[in-house]
């Protein structure tokens, strides 16, 4: 492995050896198991039984390589702990763990692991830290995840990469134009251009140009929901508001499930750097911030159904039924609507031809790598647009920032406006809008924009456009629920009624709304987190009644 990986720089924190008193505490939560030499404790692609505490013997942990071989990660001896974040969720393991000598171990199931985190706070903190560090190491190497085979600039490849990255799941990409092994795979399985990319899942299954949901099912990111389980609260949406609700609800003992159609983090998860969030003076990426919240919710035993798209909400007297797009059902005593907003699309007829390959709705390292050294256009005037412009300016030749209004000052934080003005490779064009995109086969060639006041048009050669033009409330799934929306589609809550409603409660008793989807909310990450915390108090009051 490279000497720059977290496996080497933080090896002692990732793979500590616990002393006798700590092992005794850990054993209290586990079931003793024996493994013979050569027997697997867990295999990549199969459900993790939880965390292993090695009492005697030795275990080799290896990661699988795309060529069919394996690489040693670590050898565990007595006092070591085996597992990473999948031990909390019960999702398929990302590595293989094989006994190389007879092993005695205490296996701590996911449910008991949650108990350990609460009852043994100091020990639980150390376990949580090593779990997160181990996942970071796997993300760096792509170990244990699926292998995507296809051109790195192909829209479907970028879509799958973004999906896995946003969900904190490792993966590897092989480009058949530069990798002989990838080309051999395509020829071996007789894959035509229409079937690319192909994805090799850890369980051996091969997918041809899969959807996000198909890939998620194959790698075990999401499993069937128990239709007979009644949750205290179901949260629809895993942005900052939904995750905050989950953390506080889970930590206060409410049985909780979170559903999201794509990934945790919402729009905030796409922010390259948030510099005005309380407590982070040097800034933090939206993905890093929301990943911490996601892992925190797992720690408190919250069930995550991501990606699982919600299609409808039904009231059944004293409980609610959430209908999923795959016809599964989730039942809960209360519901929190945190479904946020969906990105607006540019009003250009052929925009769908370029989405995913040349038209982007977030600016991550994946997109930045695609357009390194090029000129790009970005449309938008809010804080998300400002953060993206500054991020891209450090990686591309020039950014053309197109703004429909007369300036940035009314819609963007002053620190971003000042930073944009100070960047020599950012040019701001006010009262300007894109009117045409031209190219073929998903490859953008030129962009034409028009000055709204003068009608003067400009055409430039350009391969990538970024859109941050606001969003619309994601409330279509509430159409038959009885939950009242305002004329713009946002959810009306307590302040819209003449008393008798709990804070954040909607027109439907037992249904609450938080974050960007709520009418009158402040569209800030901190405000969304605050509402997520506040609504849990109202949930307790409602459930007690």
- The pLDDT score that the predictor gives to residue 86 is 95
H/E/C letters for each residue in 80-149? CEECCCHHHHCCEECCEEEECCCEEEEEECHHHHHHHHHHCHHHHHHHHHHHHHHHHHHHHHCCCCCEEE
5/129: higher pLDDT:
129
In degrees and rounded to multiples of 5, residue 500 shows phi and psi of: 80, 5
- The pLDDT score that the predictor gives to residue 314 is 97
Q: Six-digit token pair at 306? A: 């991501």
Task: Give 2's pLDDT tier (boundaries 50, 70, 90).
Answer: very low
- The pLDDT score that the predictor gives to residue 203 is 85
Q: Which residues of 332-350 are buried (b: 16+ CB within 10 A; e: fewer)?
A: bbbbbbbbbbebeebebee
User: 268-305, pLDDT tens digit by residue?
Assistant: 887 878 888 889 998 898 899 999 999 999 999 999 99
- The pLDDT score that the predictor gives to residue 3 is 57
Per the CB < 8 A criterion, the answer to whether 384 and 268 are in contact is no
Which residues, other chains included, contact 155 with Cβ-Cβ below 8 Å and sequence gap of 6+?
355, 356, 357, 358, 442
Per the CB < 8 A criterion, the answer to whether 444 and 367 are in contact is no
* C-alpha closest to that of 146 among 73, 96, 220: 220
- The pLDDT score that the predictor gives to residue 408 is 95
User: 17-46, pLDDT tens digit by residue?
Assistant: 999 999 999 999 999 999 999 999 999 999
Q: Six-digit token pair at 542? A: 């409602």
- The whole-angstrom separation of Cα 381 and Cα 413 is 10
- Asked if residue 136 has pLDDT above 70, the reply is yes
Q: Six-digit token pair at 60? A: 């080799």
Q: What is the mean pLDDT of residues 45-63?
A: 96
- The pLDDT score that the predictor gives to residue 1 is 42
Q: What is the pTM of this model?
A: 0.90
For all residues of the chain together, what is the average pLDDT? 93
422: exposed, middle or buried (C-beta count within 10 Å: 0-12, 13-18, 19+)? exposed
Per the CB < 8 A criterion, the answer to whether 312 and 320 are in contact is no
- The pLDDT score that the predictor gives to residue 148 is 95
57/64: higher pLDDT:
57
Q: Six-digit token pair at 313? A: 């909400």
User: 354-369, pLDDT tens digit by residue?
Assistant: 998 899 998 988 899 9
In degrees and rounded to multiples of 5, residue 384 shows phi and psi of: -60, -40
Checking 373-377 for CB contacts under 8 A at 24+ apart, the result is 373/397, 374/462, 374/463, 374/464, 375/399, 375/400, 375/460, 375/461, 375/462, 376/400, 376/462, 376/463, 376/464, 376/465, 376/466, 377/402, 377/434, 377/447, 377/449, 377/460, 377/462, 377/464, 377/465, 377/466
194-208, 421-435, 471-485, range with greatest mean pLDDT:
421-435
Per the CB < 8 A criterion, the answer to whether 331 and 229 are in contact is yes
**Order of strands, edge to edge, in the sheet holding 443-451?**
432-440, 443-451, 457-461
The least confident of 186-195, 344-353, 483-492 is 186-195
* C-alpha closest to that of 446 among 462, 433, 432: 462
- The pLDDT score that the predictor gives to residue 479 is 92
User: 459-511, pLDDT tens digit by residue?
Assistant: 999 999 999 997 789 999 999 999 999 999 999 998 767 667 899 999 999 99
191-205, 218-232, 234-248, range with greatest mean pLDDT:
234-248
Task: Give 187's pLDDT tier (boundaries 50, 70, 90).
Answer: confident
- The pLDDT score that the predictor gives to residue 498 is 66
- The whole-angstrom separation of Cα 211 and Cα 190 is 20
Q: What is the mean pLDDT of residues 49-74?
A: 92
One-character DSSP codes across 399-448: EEEE-SSS-STTTS-HHHHHHHHH-TTEEEESSEEEEEEEEETTEEEEEE
Per the CB < 8 A criterion, the answer to whether 73 and 7 are in contact is yes
The least confident of 191-200, 317-326, 456-465 is 191-200
* C-alpha closest to that of 529 among 241, 261, 329: 241
- Asked if residue 389 has pLDDT above 90, the reply is yes
- The pLDDT score that the predictor gives to residue 430 is 97
- The pLDDT score that the predictor gives to residue 511 is 97
- The pLDDT score that the predictor gives to residue 242 is 98
| DSSP structure class, residue 382 | S
Beta bridge partners of 53: 81, 106
Rg, the chain, Cα only? 25
Tally of CA atoms within 13 A in the half-sphere of 174 that contains its CB: 20
Q: Which residues of 225-244 are buried (b: 16+ CB within 10 A; e: fewer)?
A: beeeeebbbbbbbbbbbbbb
- Asked if residue 327 has pLDDT above 50, the reply is yes
- The whole-angstrom separation of Cα 383 and Cα 469 is 11
- The whole-angstrom separation of Cα 108 and Cα 23 is 12
């Amino acid at each position: 492995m490279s000497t720059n990986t977290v496996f080497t720089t933080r090896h002692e924190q990732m793979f500590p050896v616990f002393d006798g008193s700590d092992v005794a505490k850990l054993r209290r939560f586990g079931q003793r198991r024996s493994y013979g030499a050569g027997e697997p404790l867990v295999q990549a692609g199969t459900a993790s039984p939880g965390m292993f505490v090695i009492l005697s013997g030795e275990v080799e942990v290896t990661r699988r390589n795309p060529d069919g071989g394996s690489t040693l990660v670590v050898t565990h001896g007595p006092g070591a702990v085996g597992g990473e974040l999948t031990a909390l969720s019960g999702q398929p393991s990302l590595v293989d763990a094989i006994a190389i000598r007879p092993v005695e171990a205490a296996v701590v199931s996911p449910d008991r692991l949650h108990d350990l985190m609460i009852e043994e706070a100091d020990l639980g903190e150390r376990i949580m830290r090593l779990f997160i560090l181990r996942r970071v190491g796997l993300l760096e190497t792509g170990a244990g995840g699926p292998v995507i085979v296809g051109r790195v600039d192909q829209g479907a490849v970028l879509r799958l990469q973004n999906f896995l990255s946003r969900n904190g799941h490792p993966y590897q990409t092989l480009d058949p134009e530069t990798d002989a092994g990838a080309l051999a795979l395509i020829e071996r399985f007789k894959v035509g251009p229409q079937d690319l990319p192909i994805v090799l899942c850890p369980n051996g299954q091969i997918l041809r140009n899969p959807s996000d949901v198909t890939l998620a099912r194959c790698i075990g990111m999401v499993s069937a929901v128990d239709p007979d389980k009644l949750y205290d609260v179901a949260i629809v949406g895993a942005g900052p508001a939904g995750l905050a609700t989950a953390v506080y609800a889970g930590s206060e003992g409410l049985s909780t499930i979170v559903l999201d159609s794509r990934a945790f983090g919402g729009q905030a998860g796409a922010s390259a750097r948030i510099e005005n969030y309380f407590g982070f003076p040097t800034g933090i990426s939206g993905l890093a911030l929301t990943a911490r919240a996601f892992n925190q919710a797992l720690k408190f035993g919250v069930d995550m159904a991501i990606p699982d798209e919600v299609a409808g909400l039904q009231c059944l007297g004293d409980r609610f039924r959430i209908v999923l797009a795959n016809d599964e059902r989730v039942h809960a005593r209360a519901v929190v609507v945190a479904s946020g907003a969906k990105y607006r699309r540019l009003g250009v007829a052929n925009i769908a031809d370029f989405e995913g390959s040349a038209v982007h709705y977030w600016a991550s390292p994946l997109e930045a790598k695609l357009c390194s050294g090029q000129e790009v256009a970005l449309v938008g005037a809010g804080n998300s647009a400002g953060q993206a412009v500054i991020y891209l300016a450090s990686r591309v030749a020039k950014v053309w920032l197109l703004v429909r209004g007369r300036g940035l000052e009314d819609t963007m934080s002053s620190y971003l406006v000042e930073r944009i003005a100070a960047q020599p490779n950012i040019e701001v064009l006010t009262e300007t809008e894109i009117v045409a995109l031209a190219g073929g086969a998903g490859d953008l060639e030129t962009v034409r924009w028009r000055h709204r006041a003068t009608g003067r048009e400009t055409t430039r050669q350009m391969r990538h456009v970024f859109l941050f033009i606001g969003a619309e409330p994601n409330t279509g799934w509430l159409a038959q629920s009885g939950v009242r929306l305002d004329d713009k589609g946002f959810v009306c809550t307590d302040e819209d009624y003449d008393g008798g409603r709990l804070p954040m409660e909607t027109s439907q008793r037992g249904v609450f709304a938080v974050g960007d989807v709520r009418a009158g909310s402040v569209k800030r990450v901190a405000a969304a987190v605050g509402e997520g915390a506040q609504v849990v108090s109202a949930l307790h009051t409602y459930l007690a009644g």
